[in-house]
Structure 1
Amino acid sequence: MTSQQFDVIIIGGGLAGLTSAIDLSQNNFKVLLIEKNSFPKHKVCGEYVSNEVLPYLEYLGFNPFEFGAKRITNFELTTHNNKTIQTELPLGGFGMSRYEMDFQLYQLALKQKVTVLKDTVINVIFENDVFSVQTKSGQSFTSKITMGAFGKRSNLDTTLQRSFITKKSPYLGVKIHMSGNFPENKVALHNFKGGYCGVSKVENDHINLCYITNYEAFKRYKDIDAFQNDVIFKNLALKELFQNSNIEFDKPLTISQISFETKNPIENHMIMCGDSAGMIHPLCGNGMAMAIRSAQLASGLIIDYLQNKIDTRAALERKYAKVWNKTFSLRLKVGHSIAYLFRQDWLAPKLLVVLRRVPFLIPLIIRMTHGKPIKV
């Protein structure tokens, strides 16, 4: 059977995969995007996006505010013993659900003539400078470049024998949409024993609540409701929000085995983007922007390579690894450090006291986990 040929194959239709596909197709390359799920689909995600990526989204022809995204300017932090601090975000951001954002980017990708296939990739083989991508349905495709944008954790990670996949991760993520009263210009981070919850408004005036907790702490309880009542509601801001809002989901979305282990931005000659390349701790609330930013970095270099401005594949891989690390390594280190400190229940309230006394530290920390607006 003859394989269908493409310039670029992108595995995964999340933010990184979709924005890369749109960018590459706009530059007249033949792109195949393979995504195992149908659009639209909810995902466990904080749904706050830093404004650093707005120039790139606008360059791609996507304006999130056309689809109801909320402009976010303020930040609130509370501890498990109900100490609070508030500040303005240095750059600001917007709130938009993955359900809506992924779907609208998918529509734009189709408009830009990206070939989108609903299927699951089971193997990627690199031989003689060509990628062969095989899917669950028995199809085979070839390409000059293959990009991995398949999220936090995938069976393909196991197939590729990526080192992080062998290490168990203790984290569980839960996401709920609610309707109720919450300022649309604010993103809040509420700490509780064993975890924290991000809160922000998205389109349709829904409130997104997404929390992460240690699975060992969670499994002592018989279900999510019991955990929320006994642990999460000790934070009075969260208790009030839950009790005065209506849940819009039939049941919460959950994801387990969330890994913050170091990953390689290049794997088996594949260029990794988004969570496939590395995850910032959700405490820092900027994973969506990181995914889009990594897509912009990768797409620009891939375009140069396919236009023979970068001479060799080895040079392409070196350049991408270098720019990825330069752009994200500090963010990841700071994110890990902040998350570690806030996991110490005795320490979090003391940290808040320090931040109240030295308020300029908060914008500084936020800047260290966010990037500057993308130049396009």
Structure 2
Amino acid sequence: MESKIEVLIIGAGLSGLTAALHFLKSGFPVTMVEKSSYPHHKVCGEYLSNEVIPYLEWLGIDLNLLSPVSIDKFQFSTNDGQLLQATLPLGGLGISRYALDHFLFQEAIARGCHIIQDTVVDLIFNEDLFLVKMANHDPITAKIVIGAYGKRDGLDQKLSRSFIQKKSPWLAIKAHYDGSFPDDLVGLHNFEGGYCGVSKVEKDRINICYLVDYATFKKYKSIPEHRLQVLYKNPHLRRIFETSKPLFDQPLTIGQISFEKKTVIENHVLMIGDTAGLIHPFCGNGMAMAIHSAKICASSVIAYLEGGLLSRSKLEKQYRTSWNQNFLSRITAGKIMSGILRKKQLTSKFMRILIKYPFLLSMMIKQTHGKPIIP
């Protein structure tokens, strides 16, 4: 039998769970559909900028309960080992998605969120309502649907999103390690065809996550061989890997990561987090952007449900404008910087400029990070 609800969120990841907590705090019931069970690891750099801490505190979320690592230094190296260091303007926390997402998931349930473990297979918008069809449950009719299902999903095909039609060259690989690495440092190390982020998370674990061009990767038979032949050419990466012990049986991987421009609203579905737009991982700001986008979306929807925005078109216009104001320039800056790092000659020139004018590195970091989010 078909049930009717006001707010449905598809995807219980970082952005979806944050949005749910915002609605619940504001007195609005919310239903979530999530295909995976918790807890589980995700491919992610696992650095969370402090810009979101005031907002999380407003939501009643105390991340200190998860014993995160405090990080305030940034280190960047080129493939040949040239090294630059900077202080992060706001700093951040090293915290795994395994711990953070599970914590938020439990909080959402404790606060009354209704969670359905299933896969959404179709969305139909008609007469100002959504009909949401799932693989194993009866359909749901919803007034508002928020897409928070991640970087790439079969639902993108159903919605005919333009980016899904284009093949992406990117492959991401991530694992946790036991070894020696400074608690207060996040490192970004360049190699041919990609770059690798290294930082601590809770329980003294090192998170190593890297993005590689698939055309470069496929020349090698396996992840270990590619690492040995390509990543090890950067002496800093070689030292880190050689002095660390993997804690996963196998690294996690995700392919077809797209940095193409995405639509923030598709067929009246409001997109948040990576579903709305993806900043290059080397910027280290994806987690904070996911949380911030959830706040912007939830605030706009609440204004609409309370009558402050008199039409769906005004709701969509306000959300699209707010999203672009907060994130578009940061995503563009990330894309430009990533393009430079992918080209050897440009990277060398880039490094010479940064060595001569080190303040430019801090300016670059600020370009891809936001200001503290005031609730």
Whether these two folds match at TM > 0.5 is yes
In 1, Cα distance between the equivalents of 2:60 and 2:355?
41
In 2, Cα distance between the equivalents of 1:352 and 1:139?
57
Matched residues, percent identical? 47
- Cα distance, 1:117 vs structure 2: 1.1
What stretches of structure 2 of length at least 5 have no aligned partner?
Answer: none
Q: Write the deviation string for residues 10-69 of structure 1: whole angstroms up to 9, x where unpaired.
A: 000111000000110121212001111001110110001111111111111112222011
1:268 aligns with 2:267: yes
Contact conserved, 1:81 with 1:349, CA < 8 A, in 2?
no
In 2, Cα distance between the equivalents of 1:52 and 1:4?
38
Contact conserved, 2:118 with 2:137, CA < 8 A, in 1?
no
Runs of 4+ in 1 over 3 A off after TM superposition: none
- Cα distance, 1:347 vs structure 2: 2.2
Contact conserved, 2:10 with 2:146, CA < 8 A, in 1?
yes
Which residue is 1:128 aligned to?
Answer: 127
Secondary structure in 1 aligned to 2:313? Answer: helix
Contact conserved, 1:304 with 1:310, CA < 8 A, in 2?
yes
Q: Write the deviation string for residues 142-175 of structure 1: whole angstroms up to 9, x where unpaired.
A: 1110000000000000000000000000000000
In 2, Cα distance between the equivalents of 1:114 and 1:138?
17
In 1, Cα distance between the equivalents of 2:368 and 2:3?
41
Q: Write the deviation string for residues 59-105 of structure 1: whole angstroms up to 9, x where unpaired.
A: 11112222011111000000000000001001111110000000000
Paired letter, 2:40 = K
Equivalent runs, 1:109-148 vs 2, <5 Å = 109-148=108-147
Which residue is 1:251 aligned to?
Answer: 250
Secondary structure in 1 aligned to 2:141? Answer: strand
Secondary structure in 1 aligned to 2:102? Answer: helix
Secondary structure in 2 aligned to 1:373? Answer: coil
Contact conserved, 1:50 with 1:93, CA < 8 A, in 2?
yes
Which residue is 1:51 aligned to?
Answer: 50
The TM-score with structure 2 as length reference comes to 0.99
In 2, Cα distance between the equivalents of 1:187 and 1:349?
22
In 2, Cα distance between the equivalents of 1:370 and 1:16?
17
In 2, Cα distance between the equivalents of 1:278 and 1:105?
22
In 2, Cα distance between the equivalents of 1:65 and 1:233?
35
Secondary structure in 2 aligned to 1:227? Answer: helix
Paired letter, 1:310 = L
Aligned-pair Cα RMSD in Å:
0.8
In 2, Cα distance between the equivalents of 1:63 and 1:72?
17
Paired letter, 1:371 = G
Which residue is 2:179 aligned to?
Answer: 180
In 2, Cα distance between the equivalents of 1:51 and 1:138?
39
Paired letter, 2:312 = R
Which residue is 2:345 aligned to?
Answer: 346
Paired letter, 1:301 = S
Paired letter, 2:80 = N
1:96 aligns with 2:95: yes
Q: Write the deviation string for residues 226-273 of structure 1: whole angstroms up to 9, x where unpaired.
A: 000000011111111111111000000000000000011111001000
1:315 aligns with 2:288: no
Secondary structure in 1 aligned to 2:17? Answer: helix
Which residue is 2:213 aligned to?
Answer: 214
Secondary structure in 2 aligned to 1:260? Answer: coil
Paired letter, 1:14 = G
- Cα distance, 1:357 vs structure 2: 1.1
Which residue is 1:37 aligned to?
Answer: 36
- Cα distance, 1:350 vs structure 2: 2.5
Secondary structure in 2 aligned to 1:5? Answer: strand
- Cα distance, 1:360 vs structure 2: 1.1
Equivalent runs, 1:221-300 vs 2, <5 Å = 221-300=220-299
- Cα distance, 1:132 vs structure 2: 1.3
Which residue is 1:194 aligned to?
Answer: 193
In 1, Cα distance between the equivalents of 2:247 and 2:313?
49
Q: Write the deviation string for residues 108-142 of structure 1: whole angstroms up to 9, x where unpaired.
A: 10111000111100011111111111111042111
Which residue is 2:9 aligned to?
Answer: 10
What stretches of structure 1 of length at least 5 have no aligned partner?
Answer: none
Aligned length: 375
Q: Write the deviation string for residues 332-369 of structure 1: whole angstroms up to 9, x where unpaired.
A: 11000000000002221331221121111111111110
1:76 aligns with 2:75: yes
Contact conserved, 1:83 with 1:349, CA < 8 A, in 2?
no
In 2, Cα distance between the equivalents of 1:29 and 1:161?
30
Q: Write the deviation string for residues 284-341 of structure 1: whole angstroms up to 9, x where unpaired.
A: 1111111000000001111111111111100000000011011111001100000000
In 1, Cα distance between the equivalents of 2:44 and 2:138?
31
Secondary structure in 1 aligned to 2:344? Answer: coil
- Cα distance, 1:6 vs structure 2: 1.6
In 2, Cα distance between the equivalents of 1:173 and 1:43?
11
